[in-house]
Amino acid sequence: MEAVRREEVIVKDGQIRLTGLPYKKGDWVEIIVLPREHETKTRPRLTVRDLRRSDLIGLWKDRIDIEDSSAYARKLREQAQQRGEPG
């Protein structure tokens, strides 16, 4: 059995809406709802200046197995977006 984990915010008392699940009409599923502690810590915002000063830009410049880093990044984004989609 493959579990699907989703985190949602309750926007109307007593109701939750789940979409994009990898199941079809007629499939049986079990739903368990667990409350989660609200995280009071927020991540610091990354500014353009912070990004430029980081080691992320140019990370792949010396990789000989990646000829076109833009195409490689686009491929990785597409793969990440397709994860979990019903096939």
Specify the pTM: 0.38
Residue-level pLDDT, tens digit, the chain, 87 residues:
678 888 888 888 999 888 888 889 999 999 998 888 776 667 778 888 888 888 888 887 788 888 888 888 899 888 888 876 665
Identify the residue whose tokens are 């793969």: 79
**Residue 1 pLDDT:** 66
d(CA 57, CA 51): 7
d(CA 51, CA 35): 34
Query: Is the distance from CB of 10 to CB of 16 less than 8 angstroms?
Result: yes
